[in-house]
Structure 1
Amino acid sequence: MHQYPQVLIFPFPAQGHVNSMLKLAELLALASLTVTFLSSKYNHECLVCHIDILSHFTQYPGFKFETIPDGLPQDHPLLGIDNPPPDCIIGDGALGFTFDVAYELGIPIIQFCTISAGCIWVYFSISDMIQAGELPIKVPGMETYLRCGDLPSFCRTIDINEPIIQLIIKQTHKITQANALIFNTPEELYGPIPSQIRTKCPNAKHGESFGQFPNTRWEEDKSCIAWLDKQQNRSVIYASLGSITSTSSNQLVELWYGLLNGKTNFLFVVRPNSVIGKVGEGKDVVKELSKKSKDRGYIVDWEPQEAVGWNSILESIIVVVPMICWPYFADQQVNSRVVRALWKIGLDMKDVCHRKTVEKMVNDVMVDRKEEFAISASEMAKVTNRSVSANGSSCSKFNRLIENPINIL
């Protein structure tokens, strides 16, 4: 009887990373691979808190969730005596220590780069720019649209020996040691960039997988669905601080005024405890703004959604929806510039949050330049949907990926 390999998947503990890796885990389980999804105890509790995810995955006989403690001493054994090691580890590209685990166990390691391919290439280029004394100046292949201010947020320091920069360089270099790479990006979206990444990892096999499992760490307020059902199709702008971003009360009010003064109704998601300030202050501000929104808008703590971060950009592309990007940190600066300058499917509100700016951008994407963005978004959607069609590049690469765990053992 043919034995499929046992695959261990370990995500970085942030919602966007977890959602992407859960989707990958489900796709592998559909292909009859035996899959273990490993999380810290805290993150597993967050995972199962608001959706019945355990029941969903019982349909896959070879799938199981496992947890590890949130903290262990340095000399703690990697695996218990009764737990044989998996045949392969799929680690999050943000977790370099998964390589150490794989090497100690003597098994292959596949890295799933959950952020965009463009940002991965920027990370690879940081070391070269430092050695050339060019940081921050240019990224090969992105010179025509990427500016200094579009580099990841940690590049804005004047000290190139800053620990966070050195950590990113170290973590990114570990990707080159992987037996295989999975990109969370259709290759067609970034032109030559994925090929350039492959020059850094010549010995690694490559696959693509993108999509998100609808996991949430917060209780969904489904009352907004009834409000949305009363609105005309594609007449509402959706605004959200996402799963990580925090903001001041002043910024929140500026963003709200910009939405309120725009020409369209809005749904505004303000995650609990996302407003910086005294205990309870943010909640009071949100409550007051909700009262003042009246018929123009609807404000909730969290709403039914599948994607956050880079995943939300992919989702917007697929459903042909233009974007206004207000980047917060890490890969978001790169992504927001690409949305505006390369794909031309939205606007980049980098380093500013003023009501007049928000109002103008809302009116541009929803009214004044709506057709312009709709045409660009439609073209990008065609490219992306082709890649996941039966004979598309992403589908073909994923089918090869399913065989990769067997081939690299």
Structure 2
Amino acid sequence: MDKEQQPQTSPHVLIFPLPAQGHVNSMLKLAELLALAGLKITFLNSDFVHEQLLRHTDVLSRFSKYAGFDFRTIPDGLPDEHPRAGHGFMKIFEFLESTTKPIFKEMMVNIKPRVDCIIADGVLGIAVDVAEELGIPVIQFRTISACCIWAYFAVSDMIQAGELPIKGKEDMDRLITSVPGMETFLRCRDLPSFCRASDTMDSTLQRISQDTRKNFEGHGLLLNTFEDLEGDILSHMRTKAPKIYTVGPLHLHLRTRLSDSSRTLLDQSSNSFHEVDRSCLPWLDKQPKGSVIYVSFGSLAVLSSEEVIEFWFGLVNSGKRFLWVLRPDNMVEKGDSIPVELIEGTKQRGCIVSWAPQEEVLGHGAIGGFLSHSGWNSTLESVVEGVPMICWPYFADQQINSRFVSQVWGLGLDMKDLCDRQIVEKMVNGLMVEKRQEFVKSATKVAKLAKECVNVGGSSYCNLDRLVEDIRSMKLNINLSK
């Protein structure tokens, strides 16, 4: 049977991501992997997200080849003009609860054919609540690292141990000892950003802690990671949730399982909410091997104009070539006119675009390093291509990812909580010149492990097959119980 055709008896899986770029991107890749395995997939986006995908991608034609693949939409409750970026993005959870949840429940009651399994974003408590109420098996998918999930899980333990709240800036380098597996290197400043709340009853901190505890219940926990990267932390997690499916890096896993022709098309496609500017690729073609530092702070980070200028000076003063993704909404406010030395320095050695085809960029031979916000998708994409990183985390899971990149995996430098031109210049030269050989050696080793895990017989390859079989068993059990 052609993998892209699925029989009438195939399980019907609904996939529901948080309406944010990183979440939708990785869950679309998971959806395509499950469609390749012959499952019927309904992918539920917010109206706003779906409109962005239609505007900037070929998502409908790309998924039309899979029999039974369907896109549905639902309102997220936010007004159209809401920026959906920066720390203000967290407001979306209130609207999802009040507006989206009742609509989702009605959809699940009436959808045909019946949904046999929901793969819900692990931060979407509304999806888990509705699934439980209607008796639909639910597997939760966390789009962040295992190390961050484990830290979220331990929030209540940190509070009980008196290690939270953080008492002030002078407290930031204090070691946290109540997260198993991280006792020797985790500092206050490395905790997920929500842990910086001065009140341990802070609503966001409590909600994330409670949602994460719920991730360890139910039918399983699905992670975009791999055993050779986060095995030590995963062993701790499995003492609380035995059924964990590690199936990442998803973008590499998908690329590996697709046919050669489909893989070529995938390289030209994206799941971006932004217009991709491919003009940076011909520019990269003209640069020497390993000479360019790629700079991107993802889809949600919002920088002040002062921070942008400091980064810019640091990049220009480093004397290195750079490709910088600077979104139009990247700055809170518009600063003064740009100093002439920055304009001239960029003309000589730089390229600035509003959005780049990141997987292709990181895979380009001219790239020698990645100055990143340490979002999990970006981190994995850099890991896969063997590109060392400078980490400047913005919020949420990014703080802890950056600590693991630098301290545990030896893949780069961590400059969290710092932003001035001298530091940026020093970090760029440290990554690209002074410590380049040791970082490239570590990054090459981990990239090899990533590729092995998604090939036949690898841990992620086998775990995806196990996930598919478990979902098929869910449908069988539902039919037998009727």
Q: After TM superposition, is the score higher than 0.5?
A: yes
Aligned to 1:45: 51
Cα pair distance change 1:288/1:270, threshold 3 Å:
farther
| Contact 1:12-1:94 at 8 Å conserved across structures | yes
| Within-5 A mapping of 1:177-196 | 177-196=217-236
Partner SS state of residue 357, structure 2 = coil
| Within-5 A mapping of 1:162-173 | 162-173=202-213
Higher mean C-alpha deviation, range 133-142 or range 229-238: 133-142
| Within-5 A mapping of 1:260-279 | 260-277=316-333
Aligned to 1:155: 195
Aligned to 2:85: none
> How far apart, CA to CA, are the structure 2 residues paired with 1:267 and 1:374?
19
Aligned to 1:19: 25
Q: Which has the higher helix share?
A: 2
> How far apart, CA to CA, are the structure 1 residues paired with 2:316 and 2:219?
51
2:380 to 314, 323, 327: 314
Aligned to 2:255: none
| Within-5 A mapping of 1:347-386 | 347-386=413-452
Cα pair distance change 1:304/1:73, threshold 3 Å:
closer
1:119 paired to 2:132: no
> How far apart, CA to CA, are the structure 2 residues paired with 1:180 and 1:283?
51
Q: Deviations over 1:48-84 (max 9, x none)?
A: 2111110011110121111113333876552264644
Q: AA paired with 1:27?
A: L
1:304 paired to 2:360: no
Aligned to 2:60: 54
Cα pair distance change 1:282/1:9, threshold 3 Å:
farther
Aligned to 1:220: 276
> How far apart, CA to CA, are the structure 1 residues paired with 2:208 and 2:375?
19
Aligned to 1:293: 346
Q: AA paired with 1:408?
A: M
Partner SS state of residue 336, structure 1 = helix
> How far apart, CA to CA, are the structure 2 residues paired with 1:302 and 1:161?
38
1:393 paired to 2:459: yes
Q: Deviations over 1:187-236 (max 9, x none)?
A: 2212321121122224x453423324831111122221221111012111
Higher mean C-alpha deviation, range 259-268 or range 326-335: 259-268
| Contact 2:223-2:244 at 8 Å conserved across structures | no
| Contact 1:152-1:331 at 8 Å conserved across structures | yes
5+ residue gaps, structure 1: none
Q: Deviations over 1:362-381 (max 9, x none)?
A: 11111121111111111211
- Percentage of matched positions with identical amino acids: 53
1:332 paired to 2:398: yes
What is the deviation of 1:311? 1.0
Aligned to 1:237: 293
Q: Deviations over 1:354-408 (max 9, x none)?
A: 1111111111111121111111111211222221121111111111111111223
| Contact 1:214-1:305 at 8 Å conserved across structures | no
2:245 to 185, 190, 206: 206
What is the deviation of 1:39? 0.7
Count of residues in correspondence between the two structures: 405
> How far apart, CA to CA, are the structure 2 residues paired with 1:400 and 1:150?
34
5+ residue gaps, structure 2: 1-6, 78-98, 167-175, 252-268, 363-373, 476-482
Q: Deviations over 1:289-308 (max 9, x none)?
A: 55651111111111122498
Partner SS state of residue 233, structure 1 = coil
1:78 paired to 2:97: no
> How far apart, CA to CA, are the structure 2 residues paired with 1:318 and 1:197?
24
| Contact 1:323-1:365 at 8 Å conserved across structures | yes
| Contact 1:113-1:184 at 8 Å conserved across structures | yes
Q: AA paired with 2:204?
A: I
